Each structure stands twice: as C-alpha cells, then as structure tokens.
Amino acid sequence: MSTLVNTSRSTPSGGTKRAASHAPRTAIVAAHAKLNLRLAVLARETSGYHAIETVFHRLALADEVRITLQPQGTRTIRCSVDVGPAQDNLAYRAAAAYLDTAQWATGFAIEILKRIPVRGGLGGGSADAAATLRGLQALQQAAMRAGEGAGVVCTSAAVLELAARIGADVPFLTTDAAMALAWGRGDRLLALDPLPERWVALVVPEVGIDTAEAYQWIADARQMADVQPKDGAQRNDGARRGAPSVLHLWQLANWSEIVPLVRNDFTAVVAERHHFIAQGLAALREAGAVVAEMSGSGSTMFGIFERQPDAEAIARAAGAAVLVTTTATGPCRTELKA
C-alpha cells in the first residue's frame, strides 16, 4: 500500500505550515475465483429464491479490479471482455450501491482485467463485485483518515448486507476467508480454516450455463419427481433452527475428510443437457484428482490434485480448455495508490 507523507514548507513569518495530505484515489484489488466443494440447493422461498448450503474455497486464480475515484456523477466501467451492459455488471451495481449507502459524494471509474472464465460457476462476476466493495471501503477509510469528506462510515456489516443484495457468492468473496460454510442465500457465513494448498485443474467448456436456468432445471426435475427438499429450519438434522447439516465442517483439517462430503445438486441437471460434463469429470478423475466436481451452476469442472496435473492430457481427454491454478490460503490483496 502506498501512502503520501505530509511535508512542511517555510512561511513568511519563519514558521512552518503543514501541507494538506491527500488520500489515495485508486484501489487495485485481487478478485479471486471460488469453488463450491459442496453445494446443496434447498427449498424455494416464497420470494422465489432457493436457500442453499455450500462450502466455498477461494482459488489463487483472480481478476484484477482497479477502482479510481472520479468527480461526482461520473460512473464508468471497462472490462477486458464483453460482459454485457455496464448497468448490469455486478461490479458497477456494487459500486453504485456502496456510494449510495455511504452517502459519499464521489464518482468512480472501474477497470476489470478478466482472468476468471465467464459464466463458468467460478464466481467471476461476484468476485469483481466483492473486490469493488472492498476497494471502495478501503478508499473511504483512507479519505476519512485524511480528513476529507467521505460520507458516513460504511461498516463491514453494512458491506456484507450490500453484498448479499447483489448475489449469493458475493458475501463470501467480500470477506478475507479462504474457506467458509455458507447457508441461507449465501449471506450466513462461518469462516473455516483453509485446507492445505493443492493444485487445481479447471476444465472450461466453451458453453456457459445461465444460473437462473440451472435453478429452474432443478425445480422442474424435483416437481416431476414430486420431491421437494426441506429448508434448514424444517430439517431434523440441525441442532438449532436453520443450522446447516454439515456444520461439523469446522473440524475439517485435510482434503481426505472433505471427499465424502463433496456434492453439487446442479451437476445432474446440467449433465443431462450437456454431455461434456460427464466427459470432463471422467478426465479429471482419470488424471488422479482426489476430488472432481462441477463448481456452482457450471459449466466449469474442477479437480483437486496432490501434484501439478498434466493440463494438456486432461484437455485432450475432456475435449475442452484447461486452466491450472492452486487453492488460496491467504487474505485478498488490496493496494491503494494516489
């Protein structure tokens, strides 16, 4: 983090006068991708949203989000890939919501360098939104320390509330936790100690999956089978109201313990419509993955490996592009500049 040092200059009276200190104007934030090591889709609420129960783990793979403060009224966003209209971009919506909540009379210019595959179930758009919230909070705090007008304090709790309104993955990605259990709409979080760093191979098909459609596929499949899961408040496996069924995950210390708990309710309904899912998962398992599953609503599949995997061999077997990264174990990087 770069800071500006106050300087002194001579005055006509022979004394000194301290020059004004200026707060940083730019935040550069790493927006990490995530995996869902477990993703259970529970009952649909009256609002139309499904409750979920998931275990998140961040990856080293990350977009870079640069937020620069601008004159009030200026709100722009640029991305290295086409992700649709600016006003629909989650990072843009996060920035607008933050400024409105903080009553901060400033504008913003956001630049996103994309490295996370789009519409792949890795939380790329959510990660960018979370990074934007973290960056703006850091800039606001710096402005307040410098004595500049920066609205009202936007606490960490308020930021998490904003994150929950944007998307189910955003609250987790707004925190510094490398691993967490989440339930409800993803806004109820229990931070977990990260598992030991491991290699990760990501099979990235050319076809992306629309999350809303994937939820509808699950709803349709359950309606046809006349099966409706009960939410956390109705189940008998929670020790208290709303408790997730895998709350004991806080005791996990190694990857072998997570293997029996791996689950993704989206995999079957997506694989039914896209046969490359089964092919990709088979390629990861044949390459020696200790865990292989689809992340989020897909279509990206991941494999966890003890040793660096052969990306080219997996790509040939899967018939799709492969990215190799690692799991993340440390906090997210945020750098402030003048």
- The set of catalytic residues is 34, 169
How far apart, in Å, are the Cα atoms of 69 and each of 24, 106, 160? Answer: 9, 7, 22
